[in-house]
Structure 1
Amino acid sequence: MDDQSITGVRSVTMAESREHTFTGTTGLNTIRVWPHSRPRYVAILIHGYGEHIGRYEYVADRLVRHGAAVYGLDHMGHGKSAGDRVHIADFEDVVTDVYSVEEQARDDHPGVPVVVIGHSMGGMIAARYAQRYGDGLAALVLSGPVIGEWAIVPILLAHEEPPDVPIDPATLSRDLSVGAAYAADPLVWHGPFKRATLEAFATTLATIAKGGRLGPLPTLWVHGADDELVPLNGSRPGVEAIKGTNLTERIYEGARHEVFNEINKDEVLDDVTAFIDRAI
């Protein structure tokens, strides 16, 4: 990874993390690392649309306590990374950026198994990542993935100028403090979709659908049964199209979109860590 410059170590209430930057496919990206001195595995977190990796502190803390060194970047145009806000012209570039993160993690921890965990848009990126780089992975976790059919994309693309359709923070979690924090977060994008990004979503969903199955790669799919943002019935055909021979499915009754931030988040993360134990 090129052009790394440490920007400081930050003390948090959970696991310690540090940030640095690297030159990605389209500009300067920020990466966050939650280190572990002797990790059993590396976890690469891939965040969703409009948000940033800083929203995954609790997930990272659980994974570090489970024995992982955790890495995650702010995608181009997201969080602290450079670029026009939420503008992604080609998700293949984002996949390439994530691979740069994996290369850094492998340099830091040679021979340690790598697990990729993606949420929402990050689940779409993770699925495509597994199609391109899955041979090197120990496991894959897809949380509420944008995969298969996401109805909002063709609806918004029907307009020359996509209308602003704000996310209702209450759809994120039954823990309403999650939505309140999201709404107040200055690093979260609260404006409309960019047309180029919507077109890139449509292209990538089609690419994944015909991109091949995941073979023996251990894969865990977790989803909220009451997810209104990325409905379960839209994602299911996408998962069916790519699943290999080792898929585990967990659907949580009553849960909304962000299962890692839900009132039963510890149950979800227990399922994730138990799955990783089996995989590695």
Structure 2
Amino acid sequence: MKNQLQTVSLVVTLLSLVGCASLPNVPARDGGAQTSATQGHELLEGARGTHLFQQWWRPEGQPPRAVVVVVHGLKDHGSRYEELARRLVAKNFAVYAMDLRGHAHSEGPRVDVGTFDDYIEDLGAVLERVREREPGLPVFLFGHSMGGMIVTRYTLEHSAQLAGLITHAPALKVDAPGIQVASVKFISALSPNAGLFQPNLDDYSRDPQVVSATKADPLIYQSAAPVHTASELLRAIERTDARMEDITLPVLILHGTADKLTSAEGSKELYRRARSTDKTLKLYPGLFHDLVHEPEKETVLTDITAWLEARAPGATTSAK
């Protein structure tokens, strides 16, 4: 995490917590009518009975060769990956994208989580449903930012169920002073709903149209996320850092060198320490955080597609 946690005086912060309002709790929504036979959506039950929204895109007229499951990050939702999905569908992949609990169409207090393990259990429920719909197909995980942490954590526990992992600007390293990290955990214990976790949307992409659309997106919770979410992410980063060597399946790691929101050093560390014999690190000079929405997105989308094509059944090129 990089420059996401606001630098504030602990004393001032504690005083500001008095009378903090509860987070808006939004019920799950079905997302409206389905658009075609090859695109659909549904609600399913995740951890603690929370109803989650997921959608999918599938090739028409032939069975898919593999499945890619997309997990988004903060200030984000599954529909923002439709361009990536359609690119992969054209290569005969099925793509599923969930909305995290408390995000977009999924149920729950906005951008809050009980424990980080709820995200992992939610992803497990999504994958169980995917396997019912796509029996026998290899499954690849794609995770952006905090979603990159979620898919990495899931992989550490369930790698035998997966064909590969793609991390896209993952939140794998804390780039903040130790006292600031300790303050976040302390404040979270006192007032977990305090809105102190506010990534700067201007740092997502160098494309001003992308930034404007994100700021106007009604599915994105524009207020600050609760400090509890930041605290849970910090704990997940600590637990994952202790186990990076346990990543052994094929992995593609993507990061922009000018990312101000998550540290590229975390991606480098994962590449160095993962024991995968098939691992690839791609660093994009000058790119910001949201690589598939950067002006150079064509290069990024091509890299993702080529990597998956080389590792899915029916591949015609050798893995690199």
TM-score by length of 1: 0.89
Counterpart check, 1:245 vs 2:277? yes
Structure 2 length as normaliser, TM-score? 0.78
Q: What is the identity percentage for the equivalent residue pairs of Structure 1 and Structure 2?
A: 30
- Structure 1 runs of 4+ with >6 Å offset: none
Equivalent residue, structure 2, for 1:93? 118
- Code of the residue aligned with 1:224 in structure 2: it is G
Q: Secondary structure at the match of 1:186?
A: coil
2:52 to 13, 24, 29: 29
Instruction: Check the 8 A contact 1:148/1:238 in 2, yes or no.
Output: no
Unaligned runs of 5+ in 1: none
Shift of 1:95: 1.3
What SS does the aligned partner of 1:154 have? Answer: helix
Q: Which moved more, 1:207-216 or 1:47-56?
A: 207-216
Compute the displacement of 1:235 (Å): 4.1
| Mapping for residues 103-182 of structure 1, pairs under 5 Å | 103-151=128-176, 154=181, 157=184, 160=187, 164=196, 166-182=198-214
Separation of aligned partners in 2, 1:182 and 1:243: 37
Question: How many residue pairs get matched?
Answer: 273
Q: Distance in 2 between matches of 1:179 and 1:166?
A: 15
- Among residues 9, 24, 35, which one is paired with 1:10 in the alignment? 35
What is the CA distance between 1:239 and its match in structure 2?
4.7
**Among candidates 87, 99, 102, match of residue 77 of structure 1:** 102
State the Cα distance separating 1:275 from its structure 2 match.
1.0
Distance 2:65 2:132 in 1: 15
| Residues 94-114 of structure 1: per-residue CA shift (max 9 Å, x gap) | 112112211222111221111
* Secondary structure at 2:111 match in 1: coil
1:242 CA drift (Å) = 4.0
Q: CA deviation at 1:222?
A: 0.6
Larger Rg: 2
Segments of structure 2 that go 5 or more residues without pairing to the other structure are 1-29, 313-320
Match of 1:272 among 304, 313, 317: 304
Give the deviation of 1:193 after TM superposition: 2.5
The answer to whether the 8 Å contact 2:271/2:280 transfers is: no
Paired position in structure 2 for 1:20: 42
Write the letter of the residue equivalent to 1:264: E
Query: Does the CA-based 8 Å contact 1:208-1:242 persist in structure 2?
Result: no
**CA spacing shift, 1:155–1:170, aligned 2, 3 Å:** farther
Contact 2:45–2:52, Cα closer than 8 Å, also in 1? yes
Q: How far apart are the structure 2 equivalents of 1:201 and 1:249?
A: 23
Q: Is the 8 A contact 2:105 2:219 kept in 1?
A: yes
- For residues 212 and 168 of structure 1, the distance between their equivalents in structure 2, rounded to whole angstroms, comes to 28
The more displaced of 242-251 and 78-87 is 242-251
For residues 251 and 182 of structure 2, what CA distance do their matches in structure 1 show? 30
Tell me the equivalent position of 1:54: 79
**Separation in 1 of the partners of 2:64 and 2:129?**
15
Task: Tell me how far 1:215 sits from its aligned partner.
Answer: 4.7
RMSD value over aligned CA atoms?
Answer: 2.4
Structure 1 residue 137, shift from structure 2 partner: 1.1
| Compared CA separation, residues 167 and 210, structure 1 to 2 (3 A) | closer
Shift of 1:168: 3.2
